[in-house]
């Protein structure tokens, strides 16, 4: 089987590349990544040593480049991780999110129609559902929850989801969509909450927390997410949406304090900053459908996963140090320096 992984030099895509190479060693994995700020070839250093791994630098919105890759490899399955994904960046510059997340998805879908595939899988987010109230812990997102987006990022992902499902209905394209909760684990880009808190703690820097840190997220260890997607692309029903959740709901401030505990630090560097516009209060996913149909459940508790994640960042400073020394640092200072 030949599997294209777009965005494979990013966080979840990179972990999925390694999941496939480990669990399906006879498959060929073709990674497409445009290597923007969040794409890092250092993430793929070990994968490049595998004879069944191939890398193509291309923007998924570049039709000519994508068609050329499809002609070259004749892939069977496409798993689309490629996306602009940071909410704060989408508020500052929405247009690039529309280009990558919607136009890029449309180019991939057209390539699938033109060259033929057995499955196109769209990796989406629970953020397309909006948020849930903090005082209703009994409420969860299901696949039937109406789309109700809060940011340019989530709107662009919702638009891509609808386009994917429309290609199935209109053209009969064999598609699936998954919507996941917040991922964490190795290779997570340093602007996201967990790696940002780990790295800032190690460097003795302030720990910027939005509002009072009361926002709740359902944390999903990235390897559990990879196993869920693998089940969907091989056995999921065509035309269906599957929610992937971690059953690990935690407030942001709990996560920050847990990281400090694991690193043996006090809470003196926690700094509460002005909340961002339209900040969703609570995400929580009901993964009953994927459990009932495909037998998937998350295997990693938050306490286990966060410990493994902290240990990974301690052992892999040579991966994240060049990132925070570069262009990202300019963005970080500009963004959080104004709060």
Q: Report the catalytic residues.
A: 126-127, 153
Compute the residue count for the chain: 339
The rounded distance, in Å, linking the Cα atoms of 36 and 277 is 25
The DSSP letter of residue 261 is H
Give the strands of the sheet with 2-6, arranged side by side.
53-57, 28-33, 2-6, 77-80, 119-125, 175-180, 241-244
Query: Which two structure tokens, joined as six digits, stand for 167?
Result: 């290609």
In degrees, rounded to 5, the angle at the alpha carbon of residue 277 between the alpha carbons of residues 310 and 180 is 45
Residue found by looking up tokens 């689309």 in the block? 80
How many CA atoms lie within 13 Å of 224's alpha carbon, on the beta-carbon side?
28
Whether 11 and 188 have beta carbons less than 8 Å apart is answered as: yes
| Neighbour count for residue 138 (Cβ, 10 Å) | 7
The DSSP letter of residue 41 is G
CA 258 to chain centre: 22
């Amino acid at each position: 089987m030949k599997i294209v992984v777009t965005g494979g030099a990013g966080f979840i895509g990179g972990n999925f590349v390694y999941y496939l190479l480990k669990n399906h060693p006879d498959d060929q994995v073709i990674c497409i990544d445009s290597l923007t700020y969040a794409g890092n070839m250092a993430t793929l250093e070990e994968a490049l040593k595998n004879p069944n791994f191939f890398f193509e630098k291309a923007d998924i919105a570049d039709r000519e480049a994508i068609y050329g890759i499809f002609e070259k490899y004749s892939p069977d399955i496409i798993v689309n991780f490629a996306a602009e994904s940071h909410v704060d960046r989408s508020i500052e510059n929405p247009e690039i999110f529309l280009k990558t997340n919607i136009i890029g998805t449309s180019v991939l879908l057209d390539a699938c129609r033109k060259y033929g595939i057995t499955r196109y899988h769209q990796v989406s987010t629970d953020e397309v559902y909006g948020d849930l109230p903090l005082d209703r812990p009994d409420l969860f997102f299901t696949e039937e929850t109406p789309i109700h987006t809060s940011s340019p990022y989530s709107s662009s992902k919702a638009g891509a989801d609808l386009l994917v499902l429309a290609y199935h209905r209109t053209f009969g394209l064999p598609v699936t969509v998954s919507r996941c909760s917040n991922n964490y684990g190795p290779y997570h880009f340093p602007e996201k909450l967990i790696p940002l808190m780990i790295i800032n703690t190690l460097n003795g820097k302030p720990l910027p927390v939005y509002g009072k840190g009361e926002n709740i997220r359902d944390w999903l260890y990235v390897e559990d997410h990879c196993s869920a997607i693998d089940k969907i692309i091989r056995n999921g029903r065509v035309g269906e949406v599957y929610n992937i959740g971690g059953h690990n709901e935690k407030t942001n401030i709990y996560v920050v304090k847990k990281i400090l505990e694991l690193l043996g630090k006090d809470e003196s560097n926690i700094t509460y900053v002005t909340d961002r516009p339209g900040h969703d209060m609570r995400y929580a996913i009901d993964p009953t459908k994927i459990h009932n149909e495909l037998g998937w459940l998350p295997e990693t508790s938050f306490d286990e996963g966060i410990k493994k994640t902290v240990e990974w960042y301690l052992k892999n400073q040579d991966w994240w140090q060049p990132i925070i020394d570069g262009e990202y640092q300019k963005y970080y200072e500009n963004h959080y320096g104004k709060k």
